[in-house]
């Protein structure tokens, strides 16, 4: 484990922002993580814990230490005829875990195919797509408490999962580093194909026998058709959360905009697609120098190459302002600003 100085973070964030870390270290075990946290040369510095860098917007150079979590491993804790419990290192690539599960016919995460990032970051955000959230297959996680170096187990209830939310974004923020996650997966799949374009895509793929692999393939196809590959165009996927608004407000907007799509959350609240709002406000496909809004999906802000994090942040704020003015809705960023 070697601490490097003045390291470019361009390869470590999917926006491709060329910010510099004063100190940078990659850790492959809990012991290495403890060691760097307790090192007197670095323990009092500001820390940035890095997974896949796919939910991050770097707006400046980082003057502290960047700790890249590369703790790997997939371990079967227990299984029976119906279910299997997998303990997975925080540094494993999320999509590679999904493919592992699909190949072994372990059901539950197939709708979450091709979501960028690492396993350790997934519960922080309660990642979700196509009608499924990680909380539905989550059993528990282990996190290292920075102050004490002790490992604490968090149950599903203790994680306080919400829509793209968890305790790690609120009262536990900056206090713990997730080191592994345990998932409970099913050997008898229940298929979820009612959300988005999955059924339509399965039909176009001429799928006759539904399987978790077919669903995974369909989700991959949909995501690849709508979302730019970060290796080609810098982006962090969905930049904004889909806002949840009171039903009375939605009913008033629906009268004004009959085509406005929605998803009921409960009898009082409705979720509206942020991408639709942004497109209606005229932002889709707009380019401003080396940054812009993706031409196929207005929810995605992009760096065409050489764009600065502050420029993307300012663009996001202008979009928020225009949506507030046009619809009276406040968009919240899904991406974390550093």
Active site residues: 164, 238, 334
Query: E strand or H helix at 145, and its extent?
Result: strand 138-145
Q: Under a CB-based contact definition with an 8 Å cutoff, are residues 178 and 168 in contact?
A: yes
Question: How far apart are alpha carbons 316 and 319 in whole angstroms?
Answer: 5
* Residue 198: strand, helix, or coil: helix
Angstrom distances, CA of residue 138 to CA of 69, 157, 194: 20, 10, 22
Buried b (16+ CB within 10 A) or exposed e, 83-119: bbbbbbbbbbebbebbbebbeeebbbbbbbbbbbbbb
Can you give the C-alpha Rg of the chain in angstroms? 20
Q: Of the candidates 127, 115, 113, which has an alpha carbon nearest to the alpha carbon of residue 214?
A: 113
Question: How far apart are alpha carbons 215 and 218 in whole angstroms?
Answer: 5
Q: Of the candidates 262, 272, 240, 237, which has an alpha carbon nearest to the alpha carbon of residue 117?
A: 237
* Residue 6: strand, helix, or coil: strand
Question: How far apart are alpha carbons 114 and 240 in whole angstroms?
Answer: 18
Question: How far apart are alpha carbons 112 and 185 in whole angstroms?
Answer: 13
């Amino acid at each position: 484990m070697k601490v490097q100085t003045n390291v470019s973070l361009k390869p470590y964030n999917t926006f491709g922002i060329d910010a510099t870390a004063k100190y940078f270290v990659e850790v492959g075990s809990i012991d290495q993580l403890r060691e760097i946290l307790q090192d007197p040369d670095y323990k009092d510095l500001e820390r940035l814990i890095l997974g896949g860098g796919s939910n991050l917007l770097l707006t400046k150079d980082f003057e502290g230490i960047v700790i890249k979590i590369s703790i790997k491993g997939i371990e079967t804790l227990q299984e029976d005829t119906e279910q299997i419990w997998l303990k997975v290192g925080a540094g494993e690539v999320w999509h590679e875990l999904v493919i592992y599960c699909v190949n072994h016919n372990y059901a539950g995460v197939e709708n979450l195919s091709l979501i960028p990032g690492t396993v350790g970051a997934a519960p922080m955000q309660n990642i979700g797509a196509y009608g499924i959230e990680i909380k539905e297959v989550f059993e528990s996680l282990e996190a290292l408490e920075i102050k004490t170096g002790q490992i604490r187990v968090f149950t599903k209830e203790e994680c306080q999962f919400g829509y793209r939310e968890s305790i790690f974004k609120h009262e536990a923020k900056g206090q713990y580093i997730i080191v592994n996650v345990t998932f409970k997966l099913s050997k008898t799949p229940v298929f979820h194909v009612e959300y988005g374009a999955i059924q339509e895509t399965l039909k176009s793929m001429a799928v006759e026998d539904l399987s978790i692999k077919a669903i995974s393939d369909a989700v991959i196809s949909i995501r690849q058709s709508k979302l730019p590959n970060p290796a080609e165009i810098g982006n962090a996927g969905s930049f904004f959360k889909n806002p949840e608004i009171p039903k009375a407000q939605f009913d008033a907007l629906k009268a004004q905009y009959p085509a406005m799509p929605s998803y009921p959350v409960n009898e009082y609240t409705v979720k509206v697609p942020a991408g639709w709002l942004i497109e209606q406000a005229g932002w889709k496909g707009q380019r401003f120098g080396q940054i812009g809004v993706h031409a196929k999906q207005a929810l995605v802000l992009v760096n065409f190459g050489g764009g600065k994090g502050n420029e993307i942040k300012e663009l996001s704020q202008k979009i928020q302002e225009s949506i507030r003015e046009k619809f009276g809705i406040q968009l919240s960023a899904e991406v974390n600003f550093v």
